[in-house]
Amino acid sequence: MRVALVDLGMGNLHSVERALARAASDAGVACAVDRTADPDALLRADAIVVPGQGAFRDCAAALGRGLGDALRGAIAKGTPYLGICLGLQALFDASEEAPGAAGLGVFPGRVLRLSPAEGVKIPHMGWNEVTVVRPGAGPLAAFDGETPHLYFVHSYHAVPDDPSLVAAVTEHGPHRVTAAVQRGNVVAVQFHPEKSQAHGLRFLAAFLRG
């Protein structure tokens, strides 16, 4: 299979690329990972991964250069999509981080800043226990019946208009954070599977197996 690793001009693509290659080997899946910012390449890919460590406004600007239309088109035709961190947040309409900047609008909802609270550090950074709230949610089914510890780095979190999108959550102080959303061919996670060691690789392998 050909996996398009979308280059938005931000984030550590190399670590995601290495993790995908390792997960493909673990899963016994023949996989070629192509880093790309070419909209046509997204429409030809067998699967798409959108990673992201960076600012929502920069992401929105990159999506406005043809990538956004290609991603929406690929999702609409059923291409498996995995969003990581900013790749999850970009699926929604807008973010408090960048007023006036448009996300993909695949799902209605907004991305809100985690509000400060006593004893709670922002950004939320480190290992957290994740609870799957909707068993059987695509590749997140790899964690059904478990509460894996996964790695997070973020100051904003997605709040879907439709709560049924939420497939997994985590707690950060008083905050109940959307850890993953899933619907049909789309799965997106706030945690970083490429930094989450064995659990992260197991999740990526499940995504690649389909």
Topology adopted by domain 2-209? Rossmann fold (3.40.50)
The pLDDT value given to residue 55: 87
93 touches 110 (CB < 8 A): yes
| CA–CA distance, 63 with 95 (Å, rounded to integer) | 14
Q: CA torsion angle for 73, 77, 79, 84 (degrees, to 10)?
A: 40
Query: In this predicted model, what pLDDT tens digit does every residue of 23-42 receive, in sequence order?
Result: 999 999 999 999 999 999 99
Q: Measured between alpha carbons, how far is 160 from 170 in angstroms, rounded to an integer?
A: 15
- The C-alpha atoms of residue 51 and residue 189 are separated, in whole angstroms, by 10
3-state secondary structure of 73: helix
Average of per-residue pLDDT across 70-98: 96
Residue 170's pLDDT band (cuts 50, 70, 90): very high
pLDDT one-digit tens code per residue, 92-111 = 999 999 999 999 999 999 99
- The answer to whether 53 and 22 have CB atoms below 8 angstroms apart is no
Domain borders along the chain are 2-209
Residues with catalytic function? 85, 192, 194
Query: Residue 10: its pLDDT value, please?
Result: 78
Strands 109-113 and 156-160: antiparallel
Q: State the pLDDT confidence band at 53, using cuts at 50, 70 and 90.
A: confident
Strand order in the sheet with 109-113: 94-95, 109-113, 156-160
* Long-range contact set of residues 13-16: C-beta below 8 Å, sequence gap at least 24: 13/51, 15/194, 15/195, 16/49, 16/51, 16/84, 16/194
Do 181 and 167 contact (CB within 8 A), yes or no? yes
Q: What is the pLDDT, as a whole number, of residue 120?
A: 85
Place of tokens 């619907």: 183
- What pLDDT sits at residue 85? 95
Residue 54: how many CA atoms within 13 Å on its side-chain side?
Answer: 19
